Amino acid sequence: MQLVLASTSPYRKALLEKLRLAFETAAPEIDERAHPGEAPSALVERLAVEKAKAVSGGYPDALIIGSDQVAVAGDKVLGKPGNHDKAHQQLRLLSGRRVVFMTGLCLLNSATGRVQADVVDYTVTFRTLTDQQIARYLELEQPFDSAGSFKSEGLGITLFAAMQGSDPNALIGLPLIRLTTMLAKEGWVLP
């Protein structure tokens, strides 16, 4: 059975490569906007499932992985900033705060239609950051395609005071511990 990552994210691809499995990537075309009143955890789980289903037509006998992530700081939901100004605003908001990163994960067996879906949380406490620190970080790393405006696998780790969660890969966007459990339920036992 083929393994497909329904994502073009280089970060998710690099994470999945850690498992040493052969896989393909496919770009899911979906509307990623939240529904009115949709809770962040429901949003990321729904989008993970929709991403997997969006590419399933091209892979009738595959295990398809979908994933999506948001950062939640208080009552604010943060996605990818897209540019320098929005990234600076996000990091200013996150400075000195606890932030929960919610990662939705889906494993779809396109042959049987079986869907496994879950949300894995990872909490980060940011150090208090000056505008100069934020500007320097953004100039060096340019994390405009990352939820929360940082890359924890790079220089972004210097922005944190503490990290808490069951799977540090969830912070980057693909919870490998939970994925390994899902794969085992489909007969793919690792290592």
Residue 66 lies in a domain: yes
Q: Would you state the pLDDT for residue 162?
A: 97
Asked whether residue 26 is domain-assigned, the answer is yes
91-137: pLDDT as tens digits: 999 999 999 999 999 999 999 999 999 999 999 999 999 999 999 99
Q: Predicted confidence band at 79 (pLDDT cuts at 50, 70, 90)? A: confident
Spatial CA neighbour of 191 closest among 5, 1, 20 = 20
Question: Any idea what the Cα angle at residue 140 is, between residues 9 and 130, rounded to 5°?
Answer: 110
Q: Which of these is catalytic: 68, 75, 131, 145?
A: 68
Query: CATH number, domain at 75?
Result: 3.90.950.10
Please state, in angstroms and rounded to a whole number, the distance separating the CA atoms of residues 162 and 8: 29
Mean pLDDT across the stretch 16-36? 96
Query: Is the model's pLDDT at 178 over the cut of 90?
Result: yes
How does 124-158 read in b/e, with b if 16+ C-beta sit within 10 Å?
bebeebeeeebeebbeebebeebbbbbbbeeebee
Residue 64 lies in a domain: yes
In a domain, 190, yes or no: no
**Gap between the Cα atoms of 65 and 59, Å rounded:** 12
The answer to whether position 134 is within a domain reads: yes
Predicted pLDDT of residue 90: 95
What local confidence, expressed as pLDDT, does residue 120 receive?
Answer: 98
Q: Is the pLDDT of residue 153 over 90?
A: no
Confidence of residue 155 (pLDDT cuts 50, 70, 90): very high
> Is the predicted pLDDT of residue 174 greater than 90, yes or no?
yes
Instruction: Indicate the pTM of the whole model.
Output: 0.92
* Helical (H) or strand (E) element with 159: none
Q: For residue 1, name the pLDDT band (cuts at 50, 70, 90).
A: very high
Residue 99 lies in a domain: yes
The reply to whether 191 falls in a domain is no
Whether 80 has a pLDDT exceeding 90, the answer reads no
What's the number of domains the chain is made of? 1
| Residue 64 clears pLDDT 90, i.e. is over it | yes
Domain membership of residue 93 as a residue range: 2-185
Residue 23 covered by a domain = yes
- The confidence score (pLDDT) of residue 36 equals 95
- Output the average pLDDT for the chain: 95
pLDDT at 147 over 90: no
Tell me, yes or no, if 85 is annotated catalytic: no
Helix (H, G, I), strand (E, B) or coil at 129: coil
